[in-house]
Chain A
Amino acid sequence: MVVEDDALIQKIIGKNLKGNAVDFVSNKDEAFKKLDSKRYDIAFVDLMLGENDNYSGLRVIEKAKSKGIYVVVISGSGNSELINRVYDLGANDYYFKGNENTVISDVLRKYESYVEINNDKEKLFSNDFITTDPKTQKEILNALKFAKETTPILILGDSGTGKTTLAKLIHKYSKRKGNYVDLNCAAYNSELLEIELFGHTKSAFTGASEKRAGKIKQADNGTLFLDEIGAMSIDMQQKLLKAIEEKYFYPVGSDKKEYSNFRIISATLENIEELVKSKKLRKDFLNRIDSVRVFLPPLSKRRDDILILIEKFTESKRQLSFSPKAVDFLLKYSWPGNVRELKNMIDFFILNSKGKIDVVDIENYIKSNMRREQMESSDAFLNIPSGMGLDDYLDDIAYRMIKKEFSRTNKVNDVLKRFKISTRRFYSLMKKYEGKDGEKRD
């Protein structure tokens, strides 16, 4: 149904909806009559219906939503107060007049996703992303609404809240033919991140024995999910921004353009505004990746999900019995590691407990887990770029450490003492990376 008082706009919308059964009405009363007598899938609603109308389109939205209709507002008015009111009434989208020829096809595509997601809703929240929390569900549905678009999505939320799960879901519903490819930016230093993202040519660096496609190329026609985006250096942000905008890039060591039609989803657990303020994140880069923002609440803010998640994690596995005090503890615990922490704990108990769990078992698990996390927190360097051997990787790290220390002290002997290495090792690394053969440096 199209609720529009302007006959010319009716004509334009009608042209764009060719092939669909459409009713046109030009005022609130006609719209109400139609809504009472017929079932519609989508209602396109203008807000001002007539020259001196006082936004009676708002009443039409209310009525259409009460009938479960997908409502899209196309209006010439647009102050933030009015837009808020429209969304508060439950409208699914709001567009300004003037782009009907492109807006209508966008709306039909979004509606298709909406129907698909709504049909899957029960399975979605009981299987793919388990939650009963209305706020979390709303955020997820909002993200999935854009699944079929190429719009970049930024997912915010603490570690373990399900950012990767959501990114995979968006890719699944996008129906993009290419791969889902993910990369944790915090796991690599700037040089290695560049190699991982853009790929490299043969002999681009020591140990690059063959050409290798980077994540951007691997995500051609698919989705590239970049986690912990705040860990990316400013230089890398600039290079990636160019690749996002131009859809081409240069692999490391190459001057030949490569093309990739990737859709970007990024995530961070850090405060995004603080990252910009502290100049760790370029404003233009943020603007490019932040078209749709989704926030996943921590588990402590959706405690009703805890027992449901435990039930899911133990499904078709060894059953656990929690004492009433243990249940109470689980429901009150802060869960700093969120759903991931809960899952790891349940997996641990399935394998290592007698099946009956008391508060003391949970406390002991949390204590030992904290110790392990402290040890693992410095493990980021363990990610070796594919195609690089361990010896070359260790040499690469050793060379960079030596070079940094040498530029600080400018004395070879100090470097040798600091790292407890031989003169031979020092000069062999220099020869390998700088091509200098035993040149005296002291």
Chain B
Amino acid sequence: MEKKEIEKLIHTVRSKSSAIREAADIFYELDDKERDEVVLLMKQSAQNLMDAIEKLSEKIKE
């Protein structure tokens, strides 16, 4: 298992999960239009996060 690859996956996990949390923190400060945009971006980030975790899981099995 390449250390650098793992490092990059961990980076993605950290970055996406913290972004979702931070977005949740400002959710009430947003207007309706912004909320729609942010929710969409949160979904995308959640998908990226899931993909990174899946890859991490595959790397462990290798």
Contact = CB atoms under 8 A, between A and B. Distances in A.
Does chain A bind chain B?
yes
Interface residues of B, number: 24
A440 to B, nearest CB: 74
A304 B55 CA distance: 58
23 contacts: A6-B16, A6-B45, A7-B41, A7-B44, A8-B38, A8-B42, A11-B37, A12-B22, A12-B26, A15-B29, A15-B30, A51-B8, A51-B12, A52-B8, A76-B14, A77-B11, A96-B14, A97-B15, A98-B18, A99-B18, A100-B22, A101-B22, A101-B26
A11 B38 contact: yes
A76 B11 contact: yes
B15 A6 contact: yes
A380 interface: no
B62 interface: no
Given A51-B12, A101-B26, A77 B7 contact: yes
Contacts of A100: 22
A77 B18 CA distance: 12
Interface string B14-48: 11101111110110011000100110011011000
A31 interface: no
Nearest to A82: B7
Interface string A97-140: 11111000000000000000000000000000000000000000
Interface of B: 7-8, 11-12, 14-16, 18-23, 25-26, 29-30, 34, 37-38, 41-42, 44-45
A308 interface: no
Interface residues of A, number: 19
Given A11-B38, A48-B11, A97 B19 contact: yes
A16 to B, nearest CB: 8
Contacts of A101: 22, 25-26
B21 to A, nearest CB: 7
A9 interface: yes
B39 to A, nearest CB: 10
Nearest 10 pairs between A and B by C-beta?
Answer: A98-B18, A76-B15, A8-B41, A76-B14, A8-B19, A76-B11, A9-B19, A97-B18, A12-B22, A8-B45
B8 A98 contact: no
Contacts of A11: 23, 34, 37-38, 41
